[in-house]
Amino acid sequence: MPLMLAAIWQYRGFISGSVQREFQTRYRNSLLGALWTVLNPLAMILVYTLVFSSVMGNRLAGHASGFAYSIYLCAGIFTWALFAEITTRSTNVFIEHANLIKKLSFPRICLPVVVVLNALVNFGIIFGLFIAFLAVSGNLPGWPLAALVPLLLVEVLFAIGLGMVLGVLNVFFRDVGQAFTIVLQFWFWFTPVVYVATALPVEVRGLLSWNPLYGVIAGFQRVLVDGAWPEWSGLLPAAILGVLLCALGMRLFRGRVGEMVDEL
């Protein structure tokens, strides 16, 4: 692990350049350029707010604010999107950069790091606008907002651990990436993002304890909707699994990195 961290630090220029290049490539031929990074999430926030609060009149039980359900929805969807982006892109990162891996000599571990940083940049822009919306609408939480940092760390730890394992396996078994896309769809609907947990039947609600993301996303929603501290015990499944998956992912990566090059 110390050697890998040293390699990442040594190639920090390569990592930062890759993140910057991908960000620029995304909007290279558009007239508004990087302004789309603001317009897209801003439009999403406004649509959710107008449709669910004003048009459909959705209300969250126990909350007088008309924005409560929109905030609940945004908190869940933005958090899920970060997890989905990291895991999906990590699953395919070695295959997508096969030519780079075969032609250049550099620590391959830099590629998952680039994926995480790109996802965090996108998330930071979207979530920054969301926080600004909360401030303007008078729904900004108080001190519990600080809990978003450990919540984010646990989510990223779990996502990159799972992504690393899937990424290595996908090099040798290409069905892994296809299967995970299907699993992710079911996983989304098994997580209270667009609905509240209490809407589920009692017998189904008990199964949520097997979903490691439930505690993380519920934590984000609790902070942003209720202005309360998250249930810290709910983060333990994702945190423990994240550590185990990261250890397994690193072990697989170190043991198979040579074979990966031949396979690609």
Write the DSSP string, 43-67: HHHHHHIIIIIIIS----TT---TT
Q: Does a structural domain hold residue 3?
A: no
* Count of domains observed in the chain: 1
Q: Does a structural domain hold residue 233?
A: yes
Q: Does a structural domain hold residue 193?
A: yes
Q: Give me 37's structure tokens.
A: 């990074």
Closest CA to 131 of 121, 140, 118: 140
Task: Tell me how crowded residue 82 is: count the other CB atoms within 10 A of its CB.
Answer: 22
What band does 88 get if pLDDT is binned at 50, 70 and 90? very high
Closest CA to 137 of 211, 74, 218: 74
The pLDDT value recorded for residue 112 is 86
What band does 57 get if pLDDT is binned at 50, 70 and 90? very low
Q: Which single residue is written with the structure tokens 């690609």?
A: 264
Q: Does a structural domain hold residue 13?
A: no
What band does 155 get if pLDDT is binned at 50, 70 and 90? very high
What's the length of the chain? 264
Task: Tell me how crowded residue 77 is: count the other CB atoms within 10 A of its CB.
Answer: 17
Closest CA to 191 of 14, 73, 101: 73
Query: Does the pTM exceed 0.85?
Result: yes
Q: For 117-136, how does the pLDDT look when each residue is reduced to its tens digit (9 = 90+)? A: 999 988 888 888 888 888 88
Q: Does a structural domain hold residue 7?
A: no
Output the CA torsion sign for 74, 149, 25, 185: negative
Q: Which single residue is written with the structure tokens 């909007």?
A: 27
Q: Does a structural domain hold residue 219?
A: yes
Output the CA torsion sign for 198, 77, 93, 253: negative
Closest CA to 69 of 200, 181, 226, 240: 226
Task: Tell me how crowded residue 24 is: count the other CB atoms within 10 A of its CB.
Answer: 11
pLDDT of 190 higher than 50: yes
Q: Does a structural domain hold residue 2?
A: no
Q: Which domain holds residue 214?
A: 32-263
The pLDDT value recorded for residue 10 is 76
Backbone angles phi, psi at 247, to 5 degrees: -65, -45
pLDDT of 1 higher than 70: no
